[in-house]
Structure 1
Amino acid sequence: MELFNSALGKNITFVRPAYFIISGFIGIPDVKFYYFFCLFVFIVSVLGNSAVMAVIYLDHHLRTPKYIAVFNLALVDLISSSALIPKVIDTFLFNHRYISYNNCLTYMFFCFTLVSMQSLNLVALSIDRVMAIHHPLHYQVKVTHRFMLSVVASFWLLAVIFVLIAVGLITRLSFCESVVIKSYYCDHGPIYRLGCNDVAPNRAIAGIAIIVILGFPLSFIIGSYCSIIYALSKISTVQGRMKAFKTCTGHLSLVAIYYLPIIFVYLIGSAINPNARIISLSLTSVIPPMLNPIIYVFQTQEIKESLKKLLKVRVQSEIGTKN
C-alpha cells in the first residue's frame, strides 16, 4: 500500500473500484438491431470456424504444417467470438453494464490475448507462404510440424506476456473520479485513461504493444509479399506465376479483412462521432472471425475438396442407414 501511495502522491489515496460501468452504445437509434446482427455474426463464426477445425482434424491429408496455423486461427476466432459477442449482447441488450473490477481485468486479458493472436497468426501463415514460394523443392524439409508448432507456440507466449504486462499495470492505477468505460467492453485504453495517478507506463506499454502486435506483423507481411512478388517475377510463364500466386490469395484476403478496417478506424477515429467509432471498432473485432472460415472454404482448394468428400461420405452413410 505504501508503494501505491508513493506512486500516487502524498495527497491521493489509492482507490480500487468494486466495479466498472461499460457505457458502450449511448444515444444510437434502433441500436438493438445491431445486437441482433452481432448474434447472427456469432452464429456464423461458431459454425464456420468449427467446420474448418473439424475438416482439418478429420482429413489426414490436411494435417500439414500449414494447416496447423489455419487450425490455430480458426480456434482463436472461435474462442474470441465466444468471449466477446455474447458478453456484448448480454451487457447492452439486457442492460448488464456493471462488471466487477477483477472480472473486467480477466475479460480484458482474454480479449486482448485472442486479438493479438489473430494478428500474429497471420505472420505464421505468411512465413508458410514465403517458404513455399522461395523454397518449393525444400519446403517439406524446412517447414515441418515441429517448426510450425514452435512458431505458433512462440506467438502465443509473446501475446500472453504483453497482455499480462498491460493488465498488470492497470492494477497500479487509482480510479478516484470515474469508473465509466467509454467502450463496448473492458478496453485497455479507455480504462487506463480513467486513472488518477501517472498513466505513462500504461501508455508506453500500449504503444509498444501496437508496434509489436500490429505494426511488426503488418510490416513483416508486406515485406514477405514484396519478396514473393520478386520471386514470382523470375518464373518464366504467366501461367506459372498466376498458379503460384493463387496459393497466396486466401492469406492476402485474411490480411486485408483484419488490418484495413483497423487502419481505417484509427486514421479517421478523431474525425467521426464517438458512437460511430465504437461501432466501427466493434465491427473490426467481430467481422474477421466470421469471414475467415468462409474465405478459407471458398479460396482453398484442399479444404473445398475435403469438405465435399466428407459431406459425400456423410450422405452415403445416411442413405445406407435408411436402406
Structure 2
Amino acid sequence: MENRSFDVSFELRMDPFYIPPGGKYPIFFLGVAIYFFGIFCNLTLLSLIILQRNLHKPMYFILFSLPLNDLIGITAMLPKVLSDIVTETNKVYYPLCVLQGFLLHMYGGGILFILAAMSFDRYVAICMPLRYSSVMTPRVVILIISFVWGLDFVLIVSLFSLQARLPRCRSVIMNVFCDNPSLLKLTCGNASINNITGLFNTAVMQLVSVSIQAFSYVRILIACVVSRRSEAKMKAVNTCVAQLVIFIVFEITGTFTILSHRFKNISADLRKIMGMLIFLVPPLLNPLVYGLYTCEIRCTFLRVFKNRISG
C-alpha cells in the first residue's frame, strides 16, 4: 500500500484512448487546431471587453469571467491530453494531477455560478430598466464577481482537501485527465465522507445556479409577454437563448459524465470523450454564442475588424 499523497516524485499513469494506427498525428493536429481556436475566441472576447469603452458596463464586467473561466478549463485539460497522445508516456506527477483536477473542477463550478450571475444581471436590466444603474452599481458588480469565484473556490478546496487524509494503493488514473472521481479511485480507505462532500458540493452548485436562472428567466419571460414593445421582446429572447444554450449543453455533458462513473457498463472510451466535451464545447461555444446573439459585442467586433483592415 502506498501512502505518499504529497510526494512530488510519485508518478501516476493515465489510461489512454484507443487510437487506431495512423490516427495519432491527425488527432493531435485536430486537437491543436481546436485549442488555438478556443484560445483565440476567448482572448478576443476578453480584449474587446477590456479595450472597448462601450463595453464597460456591468453586464460585460460579469461576462468577462466567462471567457476567463473557459481559458482555465481548456488549458488545464487539452495540452496535457495532446502531449500524451504524441509522446505516449501517459504519466503525470501526483501534485500536478491534483492541480489539474482542482482547476478543472473550478472551471465546472465557475460556469454554473457565472451563468447565474449573468442571468440575474439580465433580469434587473429587462424587468427593472429604470433602476438598473442604481441596483447594478460598481460595488454590487464587484460583490457578485467575488461571490462567484469565492464560493467556487471554497467548495472545490473543501472537496480536494479531503483527498490528503486517504492512503493511496493504486497509481493508474482511469481517465485521460485528472479529476476528483479518478483521484478518489486511487484510494483504498473509507471515502464515504469524500463522496458525501462531492454530492453536497454538486447539489449546492446546481441549486444556486438553477434557482437563480429559473427565477430570472421566468421573470424575463413574464416581462416579455406583458411588454408591447417588440424590441424589448427580442432583447429578452436573445438574452435567454444565448445563456440557455450554454447552460443546457454544459448540463447534458456534465450529467452524463457524472453518471458514467456510477455505471460500469458504459464504455471507458465513451466516458473519456464525454468528459472531455465539458472542457471543449463551452470554451468554443460561449464566445461564438455571445458574439452572435449580443448585438453590442457583434457590432463592436465588426467595427474593430473593419478599422484594422482599413487602417
- Name the TM-score, length of structure 2 as normaliser: 0.89
C-alpha contact 2:100 2:179 (8 A) present in aligned 1 = no
The unaligned stretches of length 5 or more in structure 2 are none
Structure 1 residues 48 and 224: alpha-carbon distance in aligned structure 2, compared to 1, 3 A threshold = same
Deviation at 1:315, TM superposition (A): 2.4
Deviation at 1:211, TM superposition (A): 1.1
CA distance in 2, matches of 1:265, 1:103: 22
Letter in 2 for 1:169: L
Task: Give the match for residue 315 of structure 1.
Answer: 309
Task: From the CA coordinates, give the structure whose radius of gyration is larger.
Answer: 1
Q: CA RMSD in A?
A: 2.2
How far does the alpha carbon of each residue in 1:244-277 deviate from its partner, in whole angstroms, 9 at most, with x for none? 3233332222222322322345467735312111
Q: Which secondary structure does the structure 2 equivalent of 1:21 belong to?
A: strand
Q: Which secondary structure does the structure 1 equivalent of 2:130 belong to?
A: coil
C-alpha contact 2:72 2:103 (8 A) present in aligned 1 = no
CA distance in 2, matches of 1:123, 1:240: 21
C-alpha contact 2:49 2:60 (8 A) present in aligned 1 = yes
CA distance in 2, matches of 1:181, 1:268: 15
CA distance in 2, matches of 1:289, 1:105: 22
Task: Give the match for residue 56 of structure 1.
Answer: 49
How far does the alpha carbon of each residue in 1:120-167 deviate from its partner, in whole angstroms, 9 at most, with x for none? 111111111111122111112111222122111111111111111212
Letter in 1 for 2:158: I
How far does the alpha carbon of each residue in 1:165-217 deviate from its partner, in whole angstroms, 9 at most, with x for none? 212111111112x2111112111112112211111111111111211223431
Task: Give the match for residue 6 of structure 1.
Answer: none
C-alpha contact 1:193 1:199 (8 A) present in aligned 2 = no
How far does the alpha carbon of each residue in 1:278-316 deviate from its partner, in whole angstroms, 9 at most, with x for none? 111111221110111111111111011111221222223
CA distance in 1, matches of 2:299, 2:91: 47
Task: Give the match for residue 83 of structure 1.
Answer: 76
Where do residues 1-323 of structure 1 align in structure 2 (5 Å cutoff)? 14-16=3-5, 18-25=10-17, 27-29=18-20, 32=24, 33-176=26-169, 178-236=170-228, 240-266=232-258, 270=263, 272-317=266-311
The alignment covers a number of residue pairs equal to: 304
Structure 1 residues 273 and 28: alpha-carbon distance in aligned structure 2, compared to 1, 3 A threshold = farther
C-alpha contact 2:254 2:275 (8 A) present in aligned 1 = yes
Letter in 2 for 1:197: G
How far does the alpha carbon of each residue in 1:209-242 deviate from its partner, in whole angstroms, 9 at most, with x for none? 2112234313432332122212322223566433
Structure 1 residues 229 and 173: alpha-carbon distance in aligned structure 2, compared to 1, 3 A threshold = same
C-alpha contact 1:166 1:206 (8 A) present in aligned 2 = yes
C-alpha contact 1:24 1:185 (8 A) present in aligned 2 = no
C-alpha contact 2:109 2:205 (8 A) present in aligned 1 = yes
Structure 1 residues 199 and 43: alpha-carbon distance in aligned structure 2, compared to 1, 3 A threshold = same
CA distance in 2, matches of 1:192, 1:268: 15
C-alpha contact 1:38 1:286 (8 A) present in aligned 2 = no
Deviation at 1:65, TM superposition (A): 0.6
CA distance in 1, matches of 2:4, 2:307: 61
Counting aligned pairs with the same residue, the percent is 26
Task: Give the match for residue 321 of structure 1.
Answer: none
Letter in 2 for 1:223: F
CA distance in 2, matches of 1:85, 1:313: 34
CA distance in 2, matches of 1:240, 1:85: 40
Deviation at 1:20, TM superposition (A): 1.6
The unaligned stretches of length 5 or more in structure 1 are 1-11, 318-323
C-alpha contact 1:22 1:182 (8 A) present in aligned 2 = yes
